[in-house]
């Protein structure tokens, strides 16, 4: 769409800000949904119910990867694809608004009116009162999303450029364009399989969360370490083996599905336990801060690739950023082993 709205060469100045707006919007969407579920669920249901989100995400991911297979060159049809996504979002949000029920906040009688800056001041006070354990969890999430963001933003590029050695530029040969198309198709196929694995593993994770009392940090860390292994294999071992590339891509979903369930479930449970003890909690705010970690990790990934491209070829830059992503998963997995559990982690 930006290429049609602006002259040739200037499209990036509209596309990049619109991508950031879209990214922020998606992250904001998650917060009220997760907070609403947290309000409705009992203490022992908090972590499992956050895992339900991952199940719905896997369905959405399958649809998204299937859309990528409609066109041989999806990047040339982004306007059409985004319009399809736009209509799907309208339908889903409309259903949510019809079905969801919540109790509106009612200000107590005689309570003093807040100033215009009151909400901002309250947020600052709440953040200052959060525990070190929560900020440590947020730091782990930033590293996780450096890895997740790399796969999400550069996965297709890695398939087309590194695995298949394709190119879709005007100067590319027909052979390079054909290779690019094969890379896009392999990426879409891998994405569909990836979504299926995400759904199956999410259901298994949900069962483990419901029927066992296994410490969540020891459940989270293996997912992150597995992601580190397959991401580093993608960097060093795949080469031009398309089937191996798909395997690495498929199992790179494990950190993402775990980070969408376990950390949010921990925060929801911490706050529910604290609320039952009569403490003041800020579940929605903490969910929002965890969502901010998504953007932080993605931006670090983007800036890192940009830095690599100043001195390396695209293929070498992609290899380098995947090495960074694998190392980030390993750091996050190590950090996850030191996460704390319990309501004492809600506030200092």
Tens-digit pLDDT profile for residues 269-293: 777 776 666 666 666 677 777 888 8
Residue 206, pLDDT score? 81
What mean pLDDT is predicted for residues 31-56?
Answer: 71
Residue 65, pLDDT score? 82
Q: List the structure tokens of 277.
A: 């003890």
Residue 60, pLDDT score? 83
142 contacts 296 by C-beta, under 8 angstroms? yes
1 pLDDT more than 60: no
pLDDT band at 203 (very low <50, low <70, confident <90, very high): confident
Rounded CA-CA distance 315/338 in Å is 36
Residue 242, pLDDT score? 94
What mean pLDDT is predicted for residues 176-200?
Answer: 91
The region of weakest confidence among 48-52, 143-147, 332-336 is 48-52
84 contacts 91 by C-beta, under 8 angstroms? no
Strands (E), 179-272: none
What are the DSSP calls for 133-180, one per residue? HHHHHHHHHHHHHHHHHHHHHHHHHIIIIIIS----STT--HHHHHHH
pLDDT band at 260 (very low <50, low <70, confident <90, very high): confident
User: Phi/psi class of residue 184: alpha, beta or left (left: φ > 0; alpha: ψ in -120 to 50)?
Assistant: alpha
Note the pLDDT tens digit of each residue in 61-91.
888 888 878 887 777 787 888 899 889 888 9
Burial letters 79-112, b for 16+ CB under 10 A, else e: eebeeeeeeeeeeeeeeeeeeeeeeeeeeeeeee
Q: List the structure tokens of 124.
A: 């600052």
305 contacts 317 by C-beta, under 8 angstroms? yes
Residue 7, pLDDT score? 67
Q: List the structure tokens of 293.
A: 């970690």
**Which residues are CB-contacts of 266 (< 8 A; sequence separation ≥ 6)?**
47, 137, 216, 339, 341
Residue 215, pLDDT score? 85
3-state secondary structure of 106: coil
Q: For residue 50, with 0-12 CB atoms within 10 Å meaning exposed, 13-18 middle and 19 or more buried, which class applies? A: buried
230 pLDDT more than 90: yes
Number of neighbouring beta carbons within 10 Å of residue 157 = 17
The region of weakest confidence among 63-67, 275-279, 319-323, 341-345 is 341-345
306 pLDDT more than 70: yes
What mean pLDDT is predicted for residues 312-321?
Answer: 94
Residue 46, pLDDT score? 66
3 pLDDT more than 70: no
Residue 294, pLDDT score? 85
pLDDT band at 115 (very low <50, low <70, confident <90, very high): low
What are the DSSP calls for 199-215, one per residue? HHHHHHHHHHHHH----
Percent share of the chain, pLDDT over 90 = 33
Q: What is the mean pLDDT of the chain?
A: 82
pLDDT band at 171 (very low <50, low <70, confident <90, very high): confident
What mean pLDDT is predicted for residues 132-140?
Answer: 89
Residue 187, pLDDT score? 92
Nearest to 80 by CA among 182, 167, 193, 4: 4
Residue 279, pLDDT score? 64
Beta bridge partners of 310: none
């Amino acid at each position: 769409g930006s290429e049609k709205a602006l002259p040739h060469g200037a499209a990036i100045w509209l596309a990049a800000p619109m991508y950031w707006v879209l990214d922020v919007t998606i992250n904001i969407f998650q917060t009220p949904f997760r907070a609403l579920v947290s309000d409705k669920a009992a203490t022992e249901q908090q972590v499992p119910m956050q895992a339900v989100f991952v199940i719905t995400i896997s369905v959405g991911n399958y649809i998204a990867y299937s859309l990528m297979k409609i066109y041989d060159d999806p990047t040339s049809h982004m306007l059409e694809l985004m319009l399809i996504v736009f209509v799907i979002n309208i339908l889903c949000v409309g259903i949510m608004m019809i079905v969801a029920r919540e109790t509106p906040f009612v200000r107590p009688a005689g309570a003093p009116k807040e100033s215009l800056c009151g909400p901002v001041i309250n947020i600052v006070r709440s953040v200052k009162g959060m525990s070190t354990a929560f900020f440590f969890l947020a730091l782990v999430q930033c590293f996780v999303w450096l890895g997740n963001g790399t796969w999400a933003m550069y996965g297709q590029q890695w398939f087309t450029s590194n695995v298949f050695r394709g190119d879709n530029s005007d100067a590319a040969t027909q052979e390079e364009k054909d290779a690019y198309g094969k890379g896009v198709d392999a990426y879409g196929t891998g994405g569909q399989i990836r979504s299926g694995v995400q759904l199956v593993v999410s259901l298994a994770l949900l069962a483990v969360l419901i029927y066992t009392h296994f410490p969540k940090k020891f459940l989270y860390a293996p997912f992150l370490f597995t992601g580190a292994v397959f991401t580093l294999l993608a960097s060093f071992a795949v080469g031009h083996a398309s089937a191996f590339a798909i395997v690495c891509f498929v199992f790179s979903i494990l950190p993402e599905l775990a980070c969408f369930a376990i950390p949010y479930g921990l925060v929801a449970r911490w706050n529910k336990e604290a609320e039952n003890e009569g403490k003041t909690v800020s579940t929605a705010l903490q969910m929002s801060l965890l969502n901010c970690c998504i953007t932080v990790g993605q931006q670090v990934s983007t800036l890192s690739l940009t830095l690599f491209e100043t001195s390396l070829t695209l293929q070498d830059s992609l290899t380098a950023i995947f090495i960074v992503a694998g190392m980030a998963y390993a750091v996050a997995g190590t950090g996850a082993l030191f996460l704390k559990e319990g309501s004492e982690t809600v506030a200092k």
